Amino acid sequence: MATIFTAHATVLGRDLCDRGVDLYNVISSLDADAEAQKSVVYHRHGIERLAAQSCDVMTTVSAITSLECEYLLGRRADTILPNGLDPTAISSPANSSALALRHNMKLRIRDFLHGNFYGQLDRFDAEKSLYFFTAGRYEFSNKGVDLFIESLAALNERLKTSKDTMPTVVAFIIMPAEVSTIPAEVLHRQATLRTIQGALESIQRRIEKRLFDRTLVWKPDSALPTETELISDADNAALRRCLYGIRIDDVPPLATLDIINSHEDLILNRLQEVGLHNDASDKVKVVYHPAFLSLSSSILPLDYDEFVRGTHLGVFPSRYEPWGYTSAECLAKGIPSITSNASGFGNHIENVLRGVSGPEHGLYIIDRRTKSFDEAVEQTVDCMYGFCEMNQWERVAQRNNANRLGQFLDWNELHTEYSKARLMALRKRYPQARYLGDECKEVTPKRRPQIRQRSELSFSFPPRPMADV
């Protein structure tokens, strides 16, 4: 049997980045065997390395993961199989149905913000604000959440000193953590909207009746009813009582759910350290949703696909990301995004589509391979601030360009790489066979291929003593 082993990542590489190692800058001098023996993924790494060295064809999802495999698994990829997207997921943001869907999703996000930030809505307009977000597994450093939070803090200070016309930024962090319940304060804030809506509906019915009654007796020589005639003193008093009863002066919470051991949560702690508290004076507001998005949620009832369509910018400055679907999915939906050249996707776009991508095409690529953390933060802040300076029509043009860039990820184009890998494996296993496309027809005497012995595999580091397991 011809075999193909595809590495979407390496367990040792992910573990090293989790431990704070600047993997791609030290990988050429790294002693993989020694690092593996110090790691909790020692045995999984051993199995992965054997699989990589014993298969007929070794593949990875990106060139940057191929480099990782060369130094950590002892074998570079024979071919690259970039990840694609379902063609039906790549829809033009300019058609009427996509525009209507985007408008509806923005309204639903806005309704959530009206409740969550009730008490501060006199300081910023939720409808005119820009919605940034990051999402993924809870890998604080690998996914670049630490860099995102630092960049938001710097952006907050820069926007405070800018002209008043600059929009407020609402930053969503969607990362599942261990949670218990919905805080009473969050529920209370969302309930305020329903309370106000109920009071206004009652007043609205009375106004409609008065207007209808006046219209029935209208004469050409009489004036139309004025606002003071339609809204009675009793209506004003009822609305005033309602608003006094639901008055909220507290600072809006950062998290939408109660996090177990919240004092140990890296995201909450970093937000507090950099001074992002959702104060009234902040130009960057933060919503940390420590759960997967779901239509059944009583707080933010949207699935991920719907939520993305209602946002303005996705931010994914990963330090370790073998591919990175989040940024690709944004482009497919016409949403601009920030990625990094330390992600497989960003590296692929930078090298393969050079000249076709860039900020004008809705994709910002942060340099996390040669720049320091602080330099990457500054670069990210510049990208986000530049996005805030755009007017509505410039952002619309960027969304259209982002969608066109997403069409390069169509599986109808990329699936051919998998066919090539299959044919490569067959030719390696049966070198004397004749091939027509993907079909294999043997012309040599049937003979079972010899199975390579374990001694032929270069798996050098010795097994770790059981006492260390």
How sure is the predictor about 316, in pLDDT bands with cuts at 50, 70 and 90? very high
Which helix H or strand E contains 64, and what residues bound it?
A: helix 63-72
Dist. CA 372–CA 156, nearest whole Å: 21
Least confident of 49-58, 151-160, 178-187: 178-187
Looking at residue 414, its pLDDT comes to 84
Domain extent listing, the chain = 4-84+411-468, 87-183+254-409, 185-245
CA-to-CA distance for 321 and 337, rounded, in angstroms? 15
Helices (H) and strands (E) in the chain, counts: 17, 11
Domain 87-183+254-409 matching CATH 3.40.50.2000: the answer reads yes
Which of the residue ranges 54-63, 92-101, 202-211, 321-330 would you say has the lowest mean pLDDT? 92-101
Angle formed at CA 390 by CA 388 and CA 396, multiple of 5 degrees: 115
Give the H/E segment covering residue 134. strand 130-135
Q: Which of 73-87, 197-211, 374-388 has the lowest mean pLDDT?
A: 197-211
- Provide the pLDDT for residue 171: 97
pTM to 2 decimals?
0.85
* Band of residue 66 on the pLDDT scale cut at 50, 70, 90: very high
- How large a percentage of the chain has pLDDT more than 90? 48
Residue 233 has pLDDT above 90, yes or no: no
**Mutual angle of helices 145-160 and 373-389, in 10-degree steps:** 50
Taking CA atoms, 252 is separated from 185, 211, 278, 340, 352, in Å, by 9, 39, 6, 31, 44
Average pLDDT over residues 268-284: 95
What's the chain's average pLDDT? 85
pLDDT at 197: 81
253 or 163: which leads in pLDDT: 253
Q: Cα–Cα distance between 147 and 380 in angstroms, integer?
A: 8
Residue among 74, 125, 130, 181 at smallest CA distance from 461:
74
Task: Tell me what pLDDT residue 468 has.
Answer: 41
Q: What is the pLDDT of residues 163-193, one digit of tens each?
A: 778 999 999 999 999 999 899 888 888 888 7
* Residue (of 32, 65, 60) closest to 46 by Cα position: 32
As given in the structure block, the two tokens for residue 380 are 């990210």
Give the HSE-up count for residue 305: Cα atoms under 13 Å, Cβ half-sphere. 7
For the segment 103-119, the average pLDDT, to the nearest whole number, is 91
Residue 215: count other Cβ atoms within 10 Å of its Cβ: 10
| Whether residue 55 has pLDDT greater than 60 | yes
Q: What gap in Å lies between CA 10 and CA 77, rounded to an integer?
A: 13
Q: What pLDDT, on a 0 to 100 scale, did the predictor assign at position 442?
A: 45
CA angle 398, 404, 407 (to 5 degrees): 145
pLDDT at 453 over 60: no
Mean pLDDT score, 71-79: 94
CATH among 3.40.50.2000, 3.40.50.720, 3.30.70.360, 3.30.70.270 for 4-84+411-468? 3.40.50.2000
pLDDT recorded at residue 410: 83
pLDDT at position 261 over 60:
yes
Higher-confidence residue: 124 or 456? 124
Model confidence band, residue 437 (pLDDT cutoffs 50, 70, 90): low
What is the reported pLDDT for 459?
Answer: 42
Same fold, 4-84+411-468 and 87-183+254-409: yes
What mean pLDDT is predicted for residues 88-117?
Answer: 84
Edge-to-edge strands, sheet with 130-135: 284-289, 169-174, 130-135, 313-315, 337-340, 363-366
Token pair in block for residue 171: 């930053």
Q: How far apart are CA 363 and CA 336, in angstroms?
A: 6
pLDDT at position 286 over 90: yes
